[in-house]
Amino acid sequence: MLNLPKQKIKKLLHGLGIEAHRYHPTASPLARLMAALRAFDIDLVIDIGANEGQFAKELRSGGYARQILSFEPLTSAHSQLLAASRDDSAWSVHSRCAVGDRQDEIDINISGNSVSSSILPMLASHSAAAPQSAYIGRERVPLITFDSVANACLGGSRAPLLKIDTQGCEWQVLDGAMASLPKVRGILMELSLLPLYEGQHLWREYVDRLESAGFVLWSLEPAFVNPANGRTLQWDGLFFRL
């Protein structure tokens, strides 16, 4: 009976589409990430595919106060990213570019929700689960490799974490960071359970590749779920070099 009021509150919140959890590693994905960043003494987060800065803002809300460097190719999102970082002296934004496996210029498809924009064609498995993500345009953007800017970006960092959110192009980002990976302590990246973009690699391939490069899979969090049937389409995979 003592638990009844709590259950009633939960039921009321669920009816409103809200679920409340303690901010603790056993209950909160953000708290788990913060605990991992502290455990590995991460002093720099390199946010590739930052969009408007949502991930950096989440890090700040979780208590991460150290350096962040963001990359974003879309003109509109990059402008919002600059505005979001303006008053944060520990948050830097690279000039507008996509990060991949070569130096070039390339077309990027702009999605209706912006965050699902990708160099790759989107498959029906993605757009059916998130109709607002369908492409609405295209933009020409500079393409660089992370290796080409790594020395300047990493600076004196002893334990950088590379966060890659490039909508199916994570493999190409890794290809363009081969010389830099030995200097990276952690990697956080999207892992797709099924193809969502044409030509992309899937989660097992990434796990095998990163384990062969000396990283250990530390945690998995659902990142993209089909709301119609509850199927998890993407995880956020966190890897560390022990």
Q: What are the extents of the domains in the chain?
A: 30-240
CB 162 within 8 A of CB 99: no
C-alpha 160/C-alpha 90 separation (Å) is 14
Of 2-6, 169-173, 206-210, least confident by mean pLDDT is: 2-6
Determine whether 198 is exposed, middle or buried from the number of CB atoms within 10 Å of its CB (0-12, 13-18, 19+): exposed
Once rounded to an integer, what is the mean pLDDT over residues 23-51?
Answer: 96
pLDDT at residue number 1: 40
CA dist list (Å): 144 to 33, 70, 99: 28, 14, 5
pLDDT digits (tens, 9 = 90+) for 137-148: 999 999 999 999
Q: CA torsion angle for 108, 113, 131, 142 (degrees, to 10)? A: 10
Q: Kindly report the average pLDDT of the chain as a whole number.
A: 94
Once rounded to an integer, what is the mean pLDDT over residues 138-161?
Answer: 97
Task: Provide the pLDDT confidence category of residue 6 given band limits of 50, 70 and 90.
Answer: low
Please, which residues have CB within 8 angstroms of residue 219's CB and are 6 or more apart in sequence? 32, 33, 36, 237, 238
pLDDT at residue number 22: 81
**Triad 131, 47, 24: Cα angle to 5°:** 85
Once rounded to an integer, what is the mean pLDDT over residues 15-19?
Answer: 64
CATH number of the domain at 30-240, please? 3.40.50.150
pLDDT at residue number 2: 47
pTM: 0.92
The answer on pLDDT for 133 being more than 80 is: yes
Task: Provide the pLDDT confidence category of residue 8 given band limits of 50, 70 and 90.
Answer: low
pLDDT at residue number 188: 98
Percent of the chain with pLDDT over 90: 90
The answer on pLDDT for 132 being more than 60 is: yes
